Chains A and B, each alone.
Chain A
Amino acid sequence: MNTSTWTQLSAVMRLELRKTFFTRRGWWIYILAFAPALLYLIHSIDSVRNHEQRQALAAANPVALYAIKQIQVGDTIEDVEKQLGPPYFHLTFKRREFEVRVYRYTNGDSDFAFNFFNGKVTRIDEEDRCNLQKDSAIFATTFQFFYLRLAVFFGCVGIFTNLFRGEMLDKSLHFYLLAPMRREVLLAGKYLAGLAAAVVIFTFGTALQIAALSWHFDKGVVPAYMHGTGWTDIASYLGITALACVGYGGIFLAAGLLFKNPIVPAAVVLLWEAANIFLPAALKKISVIFYLQSLCPLVASPDKDMSPFLRLLLSSAEPAAPWVAIGGLLAVTALVLTIAGLRSRKLEINYGTE
């Protein structure tokens, strides 16, 4: 590549970066990217507030965890009151033939709800204080089932299909085609600009989510985690987010170039990616999400409340090795971009039919 080509590439990127980051049309992409971080922040605030409340309640109604754990299903109200004292909260629901009561106790960390039916314990619900393990599992599930499959996916649809199709609709693509520049350079410049925008927006979103989720832990928890697998996990999540942008970006740039209405191929890809967990092992591997999930530090298990019928449809495939997953994704992206590059040579300006 000579100097002139580099100048052209950077000129395309400069123009496109400006448009991609600051377009009014793209506000919803920021919402997709940053809304989960906001939810995690709310979760963290709620968690801190809950913990403080429980600490206060435990101070007013002290009860030992050991004593709580002694209570069994079948014990009477009298047994419970004798063992634990009065609850910090109780609820009674009476009818002529039955009585339901709920007693709540806390040791300052966890909250216990004893459910009584006609004076006997029928169920004990324990609500743990949020811990790193639990929050990591929540994050892994949200990341894989919402962030990658929906937020990054639709964000890339918005960013990358707009690079060509948006300019066709705005009637401004001809400015590029009137420059003595190879179409492949135009395509590369647009892709790199879109990729830079998508990677910055979504990896920043991922980083914010991790920060928002972890700030409420006690002093020492996060440094200990960082000392262990923390940095590797965070780097993996950021890298996977960037790889998702690489893969989906390539697909949707090509879709914007090849199809008049790129929403149709986007919907097809979305269905295919969404159906991935139900696909046979061999077909699973023909998707972006399979390789991305293979790279995740934690495997997100399907919802435990999922119906048995859906569980029957699930199939498992061995996760791909990291080098296969990364290499496969990059190879597929390169192939799709090559096809798009060949198509771009025949690109014409025909705004009238757009």
Chain B
Amino acid sequence: MTPPALVNGTSMNGASAGRITFDNVSRFYGEVLGVNRVTLSIPSGITSLVGPNGSGKTTLMNMMAGLVRPTRGEIRVLDIPPTDPHRLCRAVGYATQFDSFPKGLTGFEFVTAFLRLFGYDNARCEALANASIARVRMGEAAHRKVAGYSKGMRQRIKLALAIAHDPPVLVLDEPLNGLDPLVRSETIALFREFASQGRHVIVSSHVLHEVDQISDQVILLSNGYVVAEGQIQGVRGEIQDQPMQVFIRSTRPALLAARLFELNHVVEARLAPDASAVLIKTKDADGFYRALNQLALGGIDIEGVMPADDNVNSVYEYLIGGGEAAR
């Protein structure tokens, strides 16, 4: 699925249907900035919010779910304003990062108890709870007390509650924290399934390589501001001041490195330790690929070409800094 690109800074009128839109939204906690002047239009698919602690990810998510209201600006989730919580809460399923539960409940009781708040009758609550618990593969532990769950199980039971009422928008704050590798991949598959059904899956994460794997688009946040957004390759292409890195496998890497280094826009050519490839840094990606074609036609055997820095980690480092990316 190729999701439409995010639209930043454009008028929201008419374009907001089926999207989550933030129009010049700011939120302050007293004198502390939560987020400032955020304008976004998020299409369906998996969107990752990436940023260090305090960058505003949770504030954005809380605002989408109606738990927090903007100080300024306007938010609409599938054209529903947060001032209409009755409709908003049916449209949004939110698994927060808060690792707290009402005491004394089993996983199944937890999900059914809060589904009753939707006004469903007991039979429907139980059917929905059973279905969502099965989807997150918590069936066996469903009748054990939540207090005895591991971190990963608590994450999954929160996810079960968030998806139980079948919302078109899923907002998940650090949903992969505490999950073991198997469950993590199952959960990611679940996100993909939701996204493939045309739903919005908004995920926040610190784990950049995961974001890279699962996201259709990313929103990079720093200190309450959106510093970049869109499909990750597009975002990388916009960063002109950092040379593009390309990894090329060849049978004659030394010759290839020497030829490419003759080009004005190539600022670095480095052989891989096993001498089977070369890493090129160039300031003109288009010019570089044209030159590479010429070299290939001229007889240098090229086995593979791979962008080396159009991932979230690199983009994050370029935009926000290496120290922050390490979080």
Contacts and interface: CB of A to CB of B under 8 A. Distances in A.
Interface of A: 3-5, 7-8, 10-12, 14-15, 18-19, 22-23, 170-172, 174-183, 346, 348-353
Nearest to A346: B69
26 contacts: A8-B118, A8-B119, A10-B116, A14-B113, A15-B102, A18-B104, A19-B102, A23-B103, A172-B100, A172-B102, A174-B67, A174-B94, A175-B102, A175-B114, A176-B117, A177-B66, A180-B86, A180-B87, A180-B119, A181-B89, A181-B117, A181-B119, A182-B86, A346-B69, A350-B29, A352-B29
Given A7-B121, A174-B98, A180 B89 contact: yes
Contacts of B65: 178
A201 B244 CA distance: 71
Contacts of A346: 69
Interface string B8-32: 0000000000000000000001100
A245 B92 CA distance: 38
B114 A179 contact: yes
Contacts of B92: 178
Interface in B32-71: 62, 65-69
A11 B114 CA distance: 8
Those 3 A-B pairs whose CB atoms lie nearest each other, nearest first: A4-B119, A11-B116, A179-B117
B101 interface: yes
B289 interface: no
Contacts of B89: 178-181
A351 B119 contact: no
B68 A348 contact: yes
Contacts, number: 85
A22 B104 CA distance: 9
What size tier do the contact residues of chain B reach? 20 to 34
A171 B92 CA distance: 20
A205 B89 CA distance: 41
B96 interface: yes
A183 B83 CA distance: 12
B90 interface: yes
B113 A348 contact: no
Interface string B156-178: 00000100000000000000000
A321 B55 CA distance: 61
Contact of A351 (B66, B98, B114): B98
A8 B117 contact: yes
A22 B102 CA distance: 12
The residue among A8, A12, A178, A179 with the most chain B CB atoms within 10 A of its own CB is A178
B161 to A, nearest CB: 8
Contacts of A353: 29-30
B84 to A, nearest CB: 10
A289 B113 CA distance: 38
Contacts of A172: 98, 100-102
A349 B116 contact: no
Contact of B120 (A7, A10, A15): A7
Interface string B97-114: 010111110000000011
A353 B118 CA distance: 29
A172 B67 CA distance: 12
Contacts of A3: 119
A349 B90 CA distance: 18
Contacts of A174: 67, 94, 96, 98
A179 B93 CA distance: 9
A11 B117 CA distance: 6
B307 interface: no
Interface string B69-88: 10000000000000001111
Contacts of A180: 85-90, 117-119
Nearest to B117: A179
Contacts of B98: 171-172, 174, 351
A10 B113 CA distance: 10
B107 to A, nearest CB: 14
Given A172-B100, A179-B89, A348 B67 contact: yes
A309 B147 CA distance: 58
A12 B104 CA distance: 15
B105 to A, nearest CB: 8
A240 B132 CA distance: 47
A186 to B, nearest CB: 8
B118 A179 contact: yes
Contact of B103 (A10, A19, A182, A352): A19
Contacts of A348: 67-69
Contacts of A5: 119
Contacts of A350: 29, 68
Contacts of B68: 348-350
Contacts of A175: 102, 114, 161
A342 B114 CA distance: 23
The residue among A5, A22, A179, A353 with the most chain B CB atoms within 10 A of its own CB is A179
Contacts of B103: 19, 23
The residue among A4, A11, A171 with the most chain B CB atoms within 10 A of its own CB is A11
Nearest to A180: B89
A15 to B, nearest CB: 5
A8 B29 contact: no
A351 B68 CA distance: 11
A7 B89 CA distance: 17
